[in-house]
């Protein structure tokens, strides 16, 4: 008689309350689980569709009591149409070349990462990261991950985007860029490039993480249309000119890891 190996149970944990990184005066809590073993890729796919994000070998989702400000959002790549401002960004960066690199940290990347953090997030925790912290962020991954580097005609590194590959799309884990090139709007350009790449390989979505309408720094994610937002366990197309996000019952938390 054949016996199948017992499947390792998947445990989920809730973190202790911490200050919210997006909205002052609020508290953040997350539900987290480990991504490990031969099923890590499949689990990450399922959790991404359920609104989770990845950091190192951990998948997480906010479960903040009384708050639903963080809304999972993804771009519908095949139907995406750039608006006037996004077309301008594309024209401003025609001299850039994108290189899809393995998930390996370099001193050059870290130097750019430091300059970006100092200019844009000087009071944040990531500004204090050393090279080994940065290397862990890039290289500690149990799934298919890469770094997209954006270089100008002289070969200078102007931007980078840590990117996960999912069965149904690309997931922008973290991007950073040269703070001395504001006219290029390199953060927007990185997303536009990911959309074009997803279309080229017939992947339907680009996952952008959490859209926070109340946060000025995170509100930009709703400018890429059409997009879908997750609420009540269902992805719905975000209506045009929507700035508040889909409604969800107060206190409702739905987590599904089924395919």
Mean pLDDT value of segment 90-104: 98
Look up the pTM and report it: 0.89
Query: CA 159, 168, 220, 95 torsion: positive or negative?
Result: positive
Q: Does the pLDDT at position 97 exceed 60?
A: yes
Higher pLDDT pick, 248 / 154: 154
pLDDT tens, 228-253?
999 999 999 999 765 555 544 333 33
Write out pLDDT tens, residues 139-153. Answer: 999 999 999 999 999
Judged on CB neighbours under 10 Å (0-12, 13-18, 19+), 160 is: buried
Does residue 4 carry a pLDDT above 70?
no
With a cut of 60, say whether residue 87 has pLDDT above it: yes
Signed CA dihedral, 32, 112, 212, 165: sign only: negative
* Residue listed under structure tokens 């940290």: 105
Assign domain 72-237 one CATH number from 3.40.50.720, 3.40.605.10, 3.40.630.30, 1.10.10.60.
3.40.630.30
Cβ(257)–Cβ(233) below 8 Å: no
Strand partners, 62: 30
List CB contacts of 70: < 8 A, sequence separation 6 or more.
Answer: 22, 62, 64, 210, 211, 212
- Nearest CA-CA partner of 71 in 217, 248, 223, 197: 248
- Neighbour tally for 106: CB within 10 Å: 17
């Amino acid at each position: 008689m054949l016996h199948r190996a017992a499947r390792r149970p998947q445990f989920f944990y809730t973190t202790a309350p911490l200050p919210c990184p997006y909205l002052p005066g609020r508290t953040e809590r997350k539900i987290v689980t480990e991504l490990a073993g031969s099923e890590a890729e499949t689990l990450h796919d399922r959790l991404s569709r359920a609104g989770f994000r990845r950091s190192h070998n951990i998948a997480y989702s906010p479960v903040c009591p009384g708050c639903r400000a963080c809304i999972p959002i993804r771009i519908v790549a095949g139907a995406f149409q750039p608006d006037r401002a996004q077309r301008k960004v594309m024209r401003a960066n025609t001299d850039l070349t994108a290189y899809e690199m393995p998930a390996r940290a370099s001193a050059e990347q870290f130097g750019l990462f430091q300059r970006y953090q100092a200019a844009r997030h000087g009071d944040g925790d990531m500004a204090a990261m050393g090279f080994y912290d940065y290397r862990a962020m890039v290289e500690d991954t149990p799934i298919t991950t890469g770094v997209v580097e954006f270089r100008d005609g002289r070969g200078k590194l102007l931007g980078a985007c840590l990117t996960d590959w999912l069965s149904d799309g690309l997931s922008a884990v973290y991007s950073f860029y040269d703070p001395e090139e504001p006219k290029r709007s390199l953060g927007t350009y990185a997303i536009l490039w990911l959309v074009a790449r997803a279309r080229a390989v017939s992947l339907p979505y680009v996952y952008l993480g959490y859209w926070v309408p109340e946060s000025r720094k995170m509100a930009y994610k709703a400018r890429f249309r059409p997009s879908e937002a997750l609420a009540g366990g269902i992805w719905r197309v975000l209506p045009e000119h929507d700035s508040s996000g889909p409604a969800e019952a107060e206190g409702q938390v739905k987590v599904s890891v089924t395919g």
